[in-house]
A and B are shown apart, each in its own frame.
Chain A
């Protein structure tokens, strides 16, 4: 199945440049302790996402350093995804700035389709993307990464491995606890994906475990990872423009309270319960502030929701003057969607189990019900560690 990867290089920098005209010709570093994203000029000076900020500033002394505004980037990315959803029924949101589209069943040829996607994105969001087309997500992403922004490039079927062979192993995805640490690969003399592809799977998996297997398959152009269509969640949103930028907590709380009650009273909620609220603000310099407030259990009463939100804002209020406020209610559910407490009382749980056992025995006579008990959990002999004992209520 052909997949198109729509990739906006240096997405966060591009979004910041749209917001601030003075950044157009400047080197840009976004991040705090480490670099989150950087402009092309900074990249040519040797800076990469993940570089320590102190080191990055040393490499680009003229750069403008900005704190990351993740909620804003996420919002802009969602806008881009909305545009792409108008072109393909299956859009998988990858990492920030990269989306995967299924080309299956579309009437247009892949490359003209990709050019249409680039043009639509440019027109509607001002973002310049590159598109890579290949048989799998990883290959499509690497092709898009290699293409110049504004261009679409398609890889003929079956040529994934040959295309990937000369590319650096740095492109391989790292897991949560990456066993494929660069230094280990380099220690083994593995610089390119072709080096990995030439190894037997067993040997590579023995060194790097299950993630190693996945990386070996990717290096060989084998990629069966399915597209995960974007899930659209139904939400209720209310916004309020402040009469003047304000930093006073009382005024902010008053605004949020009005929004919470308005959102709860909105017809979109339809009497459903709410699991979470997200409070957002646009600050004076165009920056964003976001505070997610998950409720302990789904709430139908705005007074309960407001109490939880007020406490959360008091703990972490916005630090700059607020120009606009927004409240979004998410996780709308029926009453049955109420979250059970994590620590139900043991007595109640035991009572439920005993009742279930009693009913089973009443129906089936000698029902065989057991419970697992630890016998010698320290034993080196596995079968000695635990046993199943007949349940005795």
Chain B
């Protein structure tokens, strides 16, 4: 007979990694980002290196539809951001 330890079963607490972080973005009339705010500082976008869209889970109540941009900033950094096409919000996320 195995004694019941009383400990909770399962894998313990789980935390998602690489969650999108909300981001303040300035965009032009076509919706392309022209500047982003990182650590309270405005960084102009030097070039859009790549752009791609993902649509997923359209069968669920909250579908996922995002337009990703890989951006070269004026200070030489390269960051990936996306615009949520469902609620129009911007977020930063490594892809």
Tell me if B54 and A205 are in contact (CB < 8 A). Answer: no
Q: Is A233's CB within 8 Å of the partner chain B?
A: no
Q: Is B87's CB within 8 Å of the partner chain A?
A: no
> Which of chain B's residues 1-32 have a Cβ closer than 8 Å to chain A?
11-20
Tell me if A383 and B72 are in contact (CB < 8 A). Answer: no
Instruction: Count chain A residues whose beta carbon lies closer than 8 angstroms to a beta carbon of B.
Output: 20
Tell me if B76 and A213 are in contact (CB < 8 A). Answer: yes
* A-side contacts of B49, CB under 8 Å: 206
Q: Taking A205-B72, A382-B93 as contacts, is the C-beta distance between A388 and B54 under 8 angstroms? A: no
Tell me if B47 and A202 are in contact (CB < 8 A). Answer: yes
Q: Is B95's CB within 8 Å of the partner chain A?
A: yes
B73-91 vs A: 1/0 string, CB under 8 Å?
Answer: 0001000000000000000
> Which of chain B's residues 28-78 have a Cβ closer than 8 Å to chain A?
46-49, 54, 56, 64, 72, 76
Which residue in A201, A382, A388 is a CB contact (below 8 Å) of B15? A388
Q: Taking A380-B56, A383-B93 as contacts, is the C-beta distance between A372 and B17 under 8 angstroms? A: yes
Query: From residue B85, how far is it (CB to closest CB) to chain A in Å?
Result: 14
The distance in angstroms between the C-alpha atoms of A355 and B16, with both chains bound, is 26
Query: From residue A361, how far is it (CB to closest CB) to chain B in Å?
Result: 14
The distance in angstroms between the C-alpha atoms of A386 and B18, with both chains bound, is 8
Tell me if B16 and A381 are in contact (CB < 8 A). Answer: no
Which residue in A205, A383, A389 is a CB contact (below 8 Å) of B18? A383
Q: Taking A202-B47, A202-B72, A206-B49 as contacts, is the C-beta distance between A390 and B54 under 8 angstroms? A: no
Query: From residue A90, how far is it (CB to closest CB) to chain B in Å?
Result: 27
Tell me if A205 and B15 are in contact (CB < 8 A). Answer: no
The distance in angstroms between the C-alpha atoms of A372 and B72, with both chains bound, is 30
* B-side contacts of A213, CB under 8 Å: 76
Tell me if B56 and A381 are in contact (CB < 8 A). Answer: yes
Q: Taking A205-B72, A381-B64 as contacts, is the C-beta distance between A389 and B14 under 8 angstroms? A: yes
Q: Is A370's CB within 8 Å of the partner chain B?
A: yes
Tell me if A389 and B13 are in contact (CB < 8 A). Answer: yes
Which chain B residues have a beta carbon within 8 Å of chain A's beta carbons? 11-20, 46-49, 54, 56, 64, 72, 76, 93-95
Known: A383-B17, A388-B15. 9 other contacts (CB 8 A): A202-B72, A205-B46, A205-B47, A206-B49, A381-B56, A381-B64, A383-B18, A387-B16, A390-B12
The 4 A-B residue pairs with the shortest CB-CB distance, nearest first, are: A390-B12, A202-B47, A202-B46, A388-B15
